[in-house]
Structure 1
Amino acid sequence: MHRITLLFLILISNILLAQNEIGNKLVKDKFLKYFELPRESVFLHTNKTTYIVNEEVWLKGYVYDRHNGKPFSETTTVHVGLYNVDGKKFDDYHFKASNGYFKGNIAVDSMLASGEYYLRSSTNWMKNFIEDDSFVQKITILNEKLIEKAKSVREYDIQFLPEGGNLIEDAPGVMGVKVTDANGYGVKIVEGSVFDTNDTQVARFYTSIFGLGKFNFNPKAGIEYVAKIKFDDGSTKTTKIQKPSKVGISFTVKSVNNDQFVISLTTNVATKEIINEKQFYLLVHKDGHANRIPITFPKNKLYVSKVLNKEVLNKGMNILTLFNPDGRPIAERLIFNYADLLDAELEISKLSTASDSLNIQVKLLDTAKALQNLSVSVLPGNTISYNQKNSIYSTFYLKPYVKGFIENPKYYFKDVTPKKEKDLDLLLMTQGWSRYDWTNIFKGAPNRFFEFENGIDLEGSIYNKGVTSNDKLLVSFPDNRSRYLDILDNRFLIQRNFPVKGETLEFTLIRENRKLAKVNIDLNIRLGGIPNEIETTWKEKADFINDNDSEDVIVPSITYADNTINLNEVTVIEEKLKTTVEKNTLIPKYLSRKMTEVTENLEFSLPYVTDIIRSRGYNVLEGLQFGSTSRVIIRSIIPSSFLGGSTYPVPIIYLDNARLPNFDILYKMPTTEIESFMIDKTGSFEGARGAGGVIRIYTRRLPRDYNDQYSRDENVFKYELKEGFEPVKKFYTPKYTSYLSNEFENFGTIHWLPELQTNENGIATFKILNTFQSNVSFFIEGMGSEGQLISAEQTLVVE
Structure 2
Amino acid sequence: MTKKLFYLLILFFSITSTNFAQQLTDSIEKAKKNPPEIEKIYLHTDNNYYSIGESLWYKAYSVYAYTNQLFDHSKILYVELISPESKIISRNITNLEGGLGHGDFILADSLGIKPGTYQLRAYTNWMRNYGDDFVFKKEIQIITPNEEKAIQTKENNTKAISKDKKDNPKLENTPEIIVDFFPEGGSLIEDVISNVAFKATDSYGNPIEIRGTIFDANEKQINLFKSVHDGMGKFIIQPEKNQKYYAKIITPNNNEIKVTLPDVQKTGYTLSINTVDEKKVVTIKTNTATLNQNPNSDLTLICTTRGITYFQGTQTLKDTKLSFILPEENFPEGITQLTLYDNQSRPQSERLVYIEKKQNIDISLTPEKKNYSPKEKVNITLTAKNEQGNPLVANFSIAATDTNGVNENFDDGINICSYFLMASDIKGKVHNPNYYFNNSNPRRLFHLDLLLLTQGWRDFVWKKFPNLNENKNFKVEKGITIAGKVENLFGTTVKENNLVQMVLLNKGNSIMLNDTTDVNGKFEFNNINFKGTATMLLNTKNQKGKNSGEFILDSIYNQPTTIDFKGYKFLNNQENKINLIKANLHNKNILFNIPEENQLKDVIITSKKKKEDSSPSQYGFADYTYIPEEKGPQYSNIFILLQVAIPNITASANSIRFNRYNGPALIIVDGAETEISVLSSIATDDIAKIETIKGPGAAVFGSQGANGAILIYTKLGKGINSSKKVFHSVTMPVNGYQNTRYFYSPDYSKPNPSENNQADIRNTLYWNPYIQPDEKGNASFSYYNNEVDTTVNLNLEGITNNGIPIIVQSSYQIKK
Relative to structure 1, the CA distance from residue 533 to residue 388 in structure 2 (aligned partners, 3 Å threshold; closer, same or farther) is same
Map 1:71-470 onto structure 2 (within 5 A): 71-110=70-109, 111-130=112-131, 132-142=133-143, 145=147, 146-152=150-156, 153-155=158-160, 156-189=177-210, 191-197=211-217, 199-258=219-278, 260-286=279-305, 287-298=307-318, 301-341=319-359, 343-350=361-368, 356-364=376-384, 366=386, 367-368=389-390, 370-382=392-404, 389-415=413-439, 418-436=442-460, 440-441=464-465, 445-459=469-483
Relative to structure 1, the CA distance from residue 796 to residue 371 in structure 2 (aligned partners, 3 Å threshold; closer, same or farther) is farther
The answer for the alignment partner of 1:726 in structure 2 is 738
- SS of equivalent residue, structure 2 residue 127: helix
Aligned residues: 684
| Aligned counterpart for 2:561 among listed residues 531, 548, 569 | 531
> 1:510, CA displacement in angstroms?
11
The answer for the alignment partner of 2:779 in structure 1 is 764
- SS of equivalent residue, structure 1 residue 424: helix
| Aligned counterpart for 1:478 among listed residues 497, 503, 507 | 507
Q: What is the alpha-carbon distance in structure 2 between the residues aligned to residue 108 and residue 694 of structure 1? A: 27
Letter in 2 for 1:45: H
Q: What is the alpha-carbon distance in structure 1 between the residues aligned to residue 121 and residue 511 of structure 2? A: 35
Relative to structure 1, the CA distance from residue 737 to residue 427 in structure 2 (aligned partners, 3 Å threshold; closer, same or farther) is farther
| Aligned counterpart for 2:22 among listed residues 21, 25, 44 | 25
> 1:107, CA displacement in angstroms?
1.7
The answer for the alignment partner of 1:498 in structure 2 is 529
The answer for the alignment partner of 2:5 in structure 1 is none
Q: What is the alpha-carbon distance in structure 2 between the residues aligned to residue 135 and residue 481 of structure 1? A: 35
Relative to structure 1, the CA distance from residue 650 to residue 319 in structure 2 (aligned partners, 3 Å threshold; closer, same or farther) is closer
Q: What is the alpha-carbon distance in structure 1 between the residues aligned to residue 538 and residue 189 of structure 2? A: 77
**Is 1:779 the equivalent of 2:795?**
yes
> 1:577, CA displacement in angstroms?
7.6
Letter in 2 for 1:147: I
Which sits farther off after the overlay, 330-339 or 213-222? 213-222
> 1:665, CA displacement in angstroms?
4.3
- Does the Cα contact within 8 Å between 1:151 and 1:543 map onto a contact in 2? no
- Does the Cα contact within 8 Å between 1:372 and 1:762 map onto a contact in 2? no
> 1:87, CA displacement in angstroms?
3.2
Relative to structure 1, the CA distance from residue 356 to residue 668 in structure 2 (aligned partners, 3 Å threshold; closer, same or farther) is farther
> 1:41, CA displacement in angstroms?
0.9
> 1:48, CA displacement in angstroms?
1.3
- SS of equivalent residue, structure 1 residue 421: helix
> 1:338, CA displacement in angstroms?
0.9
- SS of equivalent residue, structure 1 residue 410: helix
- Does the Cα contact within 8 Å between 1:185 and 1:407 map onto a contact in 2? yes
Letter in 2 for 1:380: D
Letter in 1 for 2:807: S
Relative to structure 1, the CA distance from residue 666 to residue 331 in structure 2 (aligned partners, 3 Å threshold; closer, same or farther) is same
Q: What is the alpha-carbon distance in structure 2 between the residues aligned to residue 293 and residue 756 of structure 1? A: 44
The answer for the alignment partner of 2:53 in structure 1 is 54
Cα shift readout 1:5-43 (whole Å, capped 9, x = no counterpart):
xxxxxxxxxxxxx99732223334455666721322110
Q: What is the alpha-carbon distance in structure 2 between the residues aligned to residue 496 and residue 469 of structure 1? A: 21
Q: What is the alpha-carbon distance in structure 1 between the residues aligned to residue 246 and residue 385 of structure 2? A: 52
Q: What is the alpha-carbon distance in structure 1 between the residues aligned to residue 561 and residue 391 of structure 2? A: 38
Relative to structure 1, the CA distance from residue 385 to residue 494 in structure 2 (aligned partners, 3 Å threshold; closer, same or farther) is farther
Relative to structure 1, the CA distance from residue 510 to residue 444 in structure 2 (aligned partners, 3 Å threshold; closer, same or farther) is closer
Q: What is the alpha-carbon distance in structure 1 between the residues aligned to residue 249 and residue 134 of structure 2? A: 36
- Does the Cα contact within 8 Å between 2:244 and 2:264 map onto a contact in 1? no
Letter in 1 for 2:209: K
- Does the Cα contact within 8 Å between 1:163 and 1:432 map onto a contact in 2? no
Q: What is the alpha-carbon distance in structure 2 between the residues aligned to residue 602 and residue 167 of structure 1? A: 63
**Is 1:792 the equivalent of 2:808?**
yes
Gaps of 5+ in 2: 1-14, 161-176, 587-594, 604-608, 617-625, 657-663, 690-699, 701-709, 718-728, 747-754
- Does the Cα contact within 8 Å between 2:485 and 2:522 map onto a contact in 1? yes
Letter in 2 for 1:272: L
- SS of equivalent residue, structure 1 residue 750: strand
- Does the Cα contact within 8 Å between 1:332 and 1:432 map onto a contact in 2? no
- Does the Cα contact within 8 Å between 2:188 and 2:265 map onto a contact in 1? yes
- SS of equivalent residue, structure 1 residue 348: strand
> 1:559, CA displacement in angstroms?
3.4
- Does the Cα contact within 8 Å between 2:16 and 2:22 map onto a contact in 1? no
- Does the Cα contact within 8 Å between 1:603 and 1:671 map onto a contact in 2? no
> 1:411, CA displacement in angstroms?
1.2
Q: What is the alpha-carbon distance in structure 1 between the residues aligned to residue 471 and residue 627 of structure 2? A: 53
Relative to structure 1, the CA distance from residue 323 to residue 359 in structure 2 (aligned partners, 3 Å threshold; closer, same or farther) is same
Relative to structure 1, the CA distance from residue 622 to residue 605 in structure 2 (aligned partners, 3 Å threshold; closer, same or farther) is farther
- Does the Cα contact within 8 Å between 1:475 and 1:485 map onto a contact in 2? no
Q: What is the alpha-carbon distance in structure 2 between the residues aligned to residue 193 and residue 274 of structure 1? A: 34
Q: What is the alpha-carbon distance in structure 2 between the residues aligned to residue 794 and residue 297 of structure 1? A: 53
- SS of equivalent residue, structure 1 residue 425: helix
> 1:316, CA displacement in angstroms?
2.0
Q: What is the alpha-carbon distance in structure 2 between the residues aligned to residue 158 and residue 601 of structure 1? A: 51
- SS of equivalent residue, structure 1 residue 87: coil
> 1:364, CA displacement in angstroms?
3.2
Q: Percent identity?
A: 21
Q: What is the alpha-carbon distance in structure 2 between the residues aligned to residue 303 and residue 282 of structure 1? A: 14
TM-score by length of 1: 0.73
Q: What is the alpha-carbon distance in structure 2 between the residues aligned to residue 188 and residue 731 of structure 1? A: 43
- SS of equivalent residue, structure 1 residue 127: helix
- Does the Cα contact within 8 Å between 2:539 and 2:730 map onto a contact in 1? no
The structure that has the greater radius of gyration is 1
- SS of equivalent residue, structure 1 residue 222: coil
- SS of equivalent residue, structure 1 residue 165: coil
Cα shift readout 1:455-496 (whole Å, capped 9, x = no counterpart):
122237999999995795544443634424357699975432
Q: What is the alpha-carbon distance in structure 2 between the residues aligned to residue 380 and residue 696 of structure 1? A: 47
Letter in 2 for 1:273: N
Cα shift readout 1:31-87 (whole Å, capped 9, x = no counterpart):
566672132211011111222222211100101112233101122111122222343
> 1:719, CA displacement in angstroms?
4.5
> 1:241, CA displacement in angstroms?
2.5
Gaps of 5+ in 1: 1-17, 566-570, 579-599, 641-647, 652-660, 673-681, 683-691, 700-715
Relative to structure 1, the CA distance from residue 442 to residue 396 in structure 2 (aligned partners, 3 Å threshold; closer, same or farther) is closer
> 1:508, CA displacement in angstroms?
8.9
Relative to structure 1, the CA distance from residue 472 to residue 77 in structure 2 (aligned partners, 3 Å threshold; closer, same or farther) is closer
Cα shift readout 1:512-555 (whole Å, capped 9, x = no counterpart):
9xx999x999975421342142244965435799xxxx999778
